[in-house]
Amino acid sequence: MTQTIWIARHANRLDFVNPDWFLTAERRYDPPLSDDGLVQASQLAQRLKNEKITAIFSSPFLRTVQTANQVAEVLNLQIKLESGLSEWLNPEWMSEDPEKMSIEDLGASFPRIDTNYHSRIIAQYPEIGETAYLRAGETARKLAEEFSEDILLVGHGASVVGATIGLVGEVAKTEIKAALCCLIKVVRVDPHWVLQLKGDTSHLAQVEEVIRFN
């Protein structure tokens, strides 16, 4: 059996461009994409437009949904919101469980969201240590088994790394570069998973020089 799992990190976020946004935001841990992030997401979509992706799974945070939506529009697919791909719910980054848009509100803003889909794994605040890696890894394995064709996972720095580790093993932690809007490609040729792209950003016109996770 051959299967390709594409894993992408969300594009640039507004609070990375304007840190003061955080001070007055209604949902301060759920920033949208920045203007250049929307451009990056569009470039990611163009990179994937000829791939045989049959399903898109996204973290329920706004920045990942916006990134996934650009791809979904180009591929004419729905978006399945998967809590298991969420941001690392690290209490050192977040003083409380991060408030996000409701699924109903997200569905109203992004009609491609599949509101009948239910997360296979639920991320729970707080996550300490490498819990997020383990959670994302389990999520990637479950989705790969349940959805046997080529799929795309859209997550965050930690969940992108964790999902990759969950498929190919610990070697991924040192090999991949989880830059904003990067692309990872993992191919299964039973019984093994092979890492073919390790954080590719060649589809982007502008790439961040320093990788930030929060």
* Ordered structural domains, the chain, with CATH: 2-200 (3.40.50.1240)
Q: Please tell me the predicted confidence (pLDDT) of residue 151.
A: 98
Kindly report the length of the chain.
214
Q: Please tell me the predicted confidence (pLDDT) of residue 101.
A: 97
Which residues share a beta bridge with 93?
none
**Residue segments in the chain with a per-residue pLDDT below the cut of 70:** 214
Residue 174 makes CB contacts below 8 A (sequence gap 6+) with none
Of 164, 192, 176, 120, whose CA–CA distance to 6 is shortest? 164
Task: Give the number of other Cβ atoms within 10 Å of residue 85's Cβ.
Answer: 32
DSSP H or E run through 1: none
Q: Please tell me the predicted confidence (pLDDT) of residue 141.
A: 98
What pLDDT, in 10s, does the model give residues 138-162?
999 999 999 999 999 999 999 999 9
Q: Provide the whole-model pTM.
A: 0.97
Q: Please tell me the predicted confidence (pLDDT) of residue 129.
A: 86
Q: Please tell me the predicted confidence (pLDDT) of residue 172.
A: 86
Q: Please tell me the predicted confidence (pLDDT) of residue 46.
A: 98
CA 149 to chain CA centroid, nearest Å:
18
Cβ–Cβ < 8 Å for 81, 153: no
Q: Please tell me the predicted confidence (pLDDT) of residue 214.
A: 62
